[in-house]
Structure 1
Amino acid sequence: MGLFETAPAAAREKALAWLRHIREVEYGRPGGADSGGVVRAGYDPDRWTLAERERAKAAELTALGFGRVSDKTVHGMRLAYRG
């Protein structure tokens, strides 16, 4: 059994919620690079730098009630997922 499966349910839910957001910052799509669908405004890698996408995601997550999220938090979470 992996570490993820042993984590409390709330921690697993939070990690999965962050994963979709991190994928959107990196690839423009919540499902990842090959997930298809339309890239949402503000997350198109062909139009926006990674730093601009991190700032956009920080503002979005703050507005969604994740607490006060900074672009540095998004950047750190992105690096953590890359492991």
Structure 2
Amino acid sequence: MKRFVRTKWKMLVGLFRVALPAILLISCSGGAGQSVNFTAPATSISLTQVVGGFTNPLAITNAGDGSGRLFVVEQGGAVKIVRNGAVAAQPFLN
């Protein structure tokens, strides 16, 4: 039994010694790949401040009901409502 296990391991090690360099050679060969020049189109982004007065805003979303309200989540957990460019006096959630 020990002899069979020992010869099995020798076969696996021998196979590994042959297979590993072959795999490395195949994967590292450069081949005839073509290089492609790509130029990204010029884009510009402009930011407009809608309202200020937040300390650490994390997220913003709209109400989704057509009212134009925005919900702003601050780091402390407060959710404030922005209505017509002004922050509501009472937070939506705190």
Using structure 1 for the length normalisation, give the TM-score.
0.25
Higher helix share: 1
Whichever of the two has the greater Rg, that structure is 2
More strand by share: 2
When normalised by structure 2's length, the TM-score is: 0.23
Ranked by relative contact order (alpha carbons within 8 Å, sequence separation 6 or more), the top structure is 1
